[in-house]
Chains A and B, each alone.
Chain A
């Protein structure tokens, strides 16, 4: 039962993007199409699952003082692996994601989960946590991608929607990305009956412990 909870919490209740406000960059950049959103989400899920498993297995071996570089190398290894796989099997997605595939390495969801969960828990809960968080990320990317594709290109999953004759192309541009994300976060908070977050949380940031910048402005 406990393990199941680790899996489901990431989907909606602690959704990393819409509730935790982590991993904003890929959320905005690749969601011009719903398909790209799913692709990016699944690639991130793969890396998150792999890195959570490996980090939780190695939690006793990695010295505390150099854990951040160690985590980053493990994550970057998985990122290299997934970019090989995508390059070989789904070249169109590989081209669409571009640099953002490599930038999964610095996605704060992955480092955040490594720091907050995988380094303290056993392998199976860590794997489920990674899978749940990854799928939650995929879900929010899919929602963002769908909204932007329908409004901006008049199609969904690559299929044209007949009654939208003049799509508003601003939605597939960068300005539309910020706008849709803002509205989606507001909607999620409205539905959940919560006050929207006032600032980007430092809680999920892997550097929170040794970061004095919080005093400077990131946190009031």
Chain B
């Protein structure tokens, strides 16, 4: 049994979703241009990941397993995530317009964010308990936000840098991401 602390540290630093598991690269590259949008996207991802895990975990163990339908987990989970994101968007728009304006714009992007589906599937694969799954989801989201926020700082410097024309834009962004990822590799000895 992994202790809660190990799961926390591992989800944020060692197995960072973006920089070492390569999940959610599209929003990482697309939204990290500004600090404000990184914060918004990060908060939205933490929220959706936590709620998606809270819903999919009982669905897997109390609906799919008793009926021997484990192989349907991909179909069931993605459907739940898509419906949930849609519902949250509608609800936020009606109930809390200010929150919708700061977070809601990122919600449609999250349905197809593989980090969300990834975290729900990995929680099942790793055999976590409900509490461990929730902790893992929250801190995976925190790790995702951390990567996004750090990288938005790197990118603001990159804007003004003098780069050969062939590398301008996405290629230089990817190479900068590689250096950030290199720095996260130093955490890999933290948990054996």
Contact = CB atoms under 8 A, between A and B. Distances in A.
B170 A200 contact: yes
Contact of B109 (A21, A173, A197, A218): A218
B192 interface: no
B165 A25 contact: no
Q: Report whether over half of chain A's contact residues are helix, strand or loop; otherwise say mixed.
A: helix
B112 interface: yes
B67 interface: no
A28 B24 CA distance: 11
Interface in B4-48: 19-27, 29-34, 36-38, 40-41
Given A106-B78, A106-B117, A217 B23 contact: no
B172 interface: yes
Interface stretch (A1-9, A74-82, A123-131, A149-157): A74-82
A111 interface: yes
Interface in A176-210: 176-179, 181-183, 185-186, 189-190, 195-200, 202, 205-207, 210
A68 interface: yes
A212 to B, nearest CB: 5
B168 A198 contact: yes
A162 interface: no
Nearest to A185: B171
B117 A21 contact: no
A174 B22 contact: yes
B41 to A, nearest CB: 8
A185 B22 contact: no
Range class of the A interface residue count? 35 or more
B153 interface: no
B146 interface: no
Contacts of B130: none
Nearest to A76: B75
Contacts of B171: 182-183, 185-186, 189, 196
Given A176-B178, A199-B30, A211-B108, A80 B75 contact: yes
Contacts of A68: 82, 111
Contacts of B33: 199, 217, 220
Contacts of B20: 174
Contacts of B37: 213, 216-218
Contact of A213 (B34, B73, B105, B179): B105
A106 B75 CA distance: 11
A99 B114 CA distance: 10
Nearest to A209: B108
B92 to A, nearest CB: 12
A72 interface: yes
Contacts of B61: none
Interface in A16-40: 21, 24-26, 28-29
Interface in B133-190: 165-175, 177-179, 181-182, 184-185
A73 B76 CA distance: 9
A174 B185 contact: yes
16 contacts: A28-B25, A72-B78, A72-B82, A80-B75, A99-B122, A174-B181, A182-B167, A182-B171, A186-B171, A199-B169, A200-B30, A207-B109, A207-B112, A213-B37, A216-B40, A217-B30
